[in-house]
A and B are shown apart, each in its own frame.
Chain A
Amino acid sequence: EAGVAQSPRYKIIEKRQSVAFWCNPISGHATLYWYQQILGQGPKLLIQFQNNGVVDDSQLPKDRFSAERLKGVDSTLKIQPAKLEDSAVYLCASSWGRGGRRTEAFFGQGTRLTVV
C-alpha cells in the first residue's frame, strides 16, 4: 500500500514570496490533515478535511494560508505572502475517517520550508 506522498521535500523562498505544497493521501482515506511543525515543537494542526469539506481550520492563519482538497483526494496548501516565522516542516496526514479506530493517521515525510 502506498503511503502519503508530499512534494516538494524542501523549499527555500524569500519572505513575501508565495509557495505551495502538494499532498496525495492514501487511497480511500476520507480525512486529510495539514500540520505545521516548527523546529523543536510538536506538530500543530492547521486544517482538517473530511472528503472535500473543511472540518477544522481554526488554527489556520487565513490572512496568508489557504488550503483546498479538490474532489476529495489530493490537497494543496498555499502560503502567500510568506513570513520568516513560517519556516517549518509541513506535514500531511490521512486517515480512513473520523471517529473510532478510523482516526489512526498516517503521515507523509513532510516539506521543509525555509523562508529567508
Chain B
Amino acid sequence: AQSVTQPDIHITVSEGASLELRCNYSYGATPYLFWYVQSPGQGLQLLLKYFSGDTLVQGIKGFEAEFKRSQSSFNLRKPSVHWSDAAEYFCAVVRGNAGNMLTFGGGTRLMVKP
C-alpha cells in the first residue's frame, strides 16, 4: 500500500524568509506527485504536479518542488514567503497506473510571522 508522510505538522516562518515543506512517500515505482494548498474554509487548490521528466517543477504562487527518487521525496519550496501563504499544505500521491487513488499526507500547517 502506498503512503505519504509529511513530517512537520506545523511550521512558522517569517515573512520574506524561505520555506521548505517536506513530503516522503512509500511506493516501489515512480508515482504521480501533487502539492495542494487549503485555506481556511476552502477546498483544495493544486499548486503543482509531477508526472515525469524534469524533476524540478514550477507551480503557481511562486512555489516549486523537487522530486528525488533516491530519497522518495517531493519537497515543496518557496524562496520568499508572503503573509498570504499561511494555510495548510498537503502532499498527495497517485500510483502511476490505471488504478489511481489519490492518497494524501497528514498536512503541514504554515504560519507566517510579520
Q: Could you tell me if A45 and B101 are in contact, using CB atoms closer than 8 angstroms?
A: yes
B43: chain A residues within 8 A (beta carbon)? 4, 91, 107-110
Tell me whether A33 is interfacial, beta carbon within 8 Å. yes
One of A31, A40, A41, A43 near B44 (C-beta < 8 A): A43
Q: Give the interface of B toward A (CB within 8 A).
A: 4, 6, 32, 34, 36, 41-46, 49, 51, 90, 94, 97-107
Q: Could you tell me if A45 and B102 are in contact, using CB atoms closer than 8 angstroms?
A: yes
Tell me whether A65 is interfacial, beta carbon within 8 Å. no
B36: chain A residues within 8 A (beta carbon)? 107
Q: Could you tell me if B94 and A103 are in contact, using CB atoms closer than 8 angstroms?
A: yes
Q: Could you tell me if B99 and A104 are in contact, using CB atoms closer than 8 angstroms?
A: no
Tell me whether A48 is interfacial, beta carbon within 8 Å. yes
One of A45, A99, A104, A112 near B49 (C-beta < 8 A): A104
Report the separation of the CA atoms of residues A101 and B106 in the bound assembly, to the nearest whole angstrom.
Answer: 24
Tell me whether A44 is interfacial, beta carbon within 8 Å. yes
Report the separation of the CA atoms of residues A31 and B94 in the bound assembly, to the nearest whole angstrom.
Answer: 14
A75 to chain B, nearest CB (A): 16
How many A-B pairs with Cβ below 8 Å? Answer: 59
A16: chain B residues within 8 A (beta carbon)? none
Residue among A33, A40, A42, A100 having the largest count of chain B Cβ atoms under 10 Å: A42
Q: Could you tell me if B102 and A41 are in contact, using CB atoms closer than 8 angstroms?
A: no
B101 to chain A, nearest CB (A): 6
A43: chain B residues within 8 A (beta carbon)? 44, 90, 104
Q: Could you tell me if A103 and B104 are in contact, using CB atoms closer than 8 angstroms?
A: no
Tell me whether A98 is interfacial, beta carbon within 8 Å. yes
Tell me whether A22 is interfacial, beta carbon within 8 Å. no
A14: chain B residues within 8 A (beta carbon)? none
Report the separation of the CA atoms of residues A42 and B109 in the bound assembly, to the nearest whole angstrom.
Answer: 11
B73 to chain A, nearest CB (A): 17
B103: chain A residues within 8 A (beta carbon)? 45
Report the separation of the CA atoms of residues A33 and B81 in the bound assembly, to the nearest whole angstrom.
Answer: 32
Q: Could you tell me if B100 and A99 are in contact, using CB atoms closer than 8 angstroms?
A: yes
Contact with B along A23-50 (1 / 0, CB 8 A): 0000000010101000011111100100
Pairs across A and B, CB under 8 Å, 16 listed: A4-B43, A40-B107, A42-B105, A42-B107, A43-B44, A43-B90, A99-B97, A100-B51, A103-B102, A105-B102, A107-B36, A107-B43, A107-B45, A109-B42, A109-B43, A110-B43
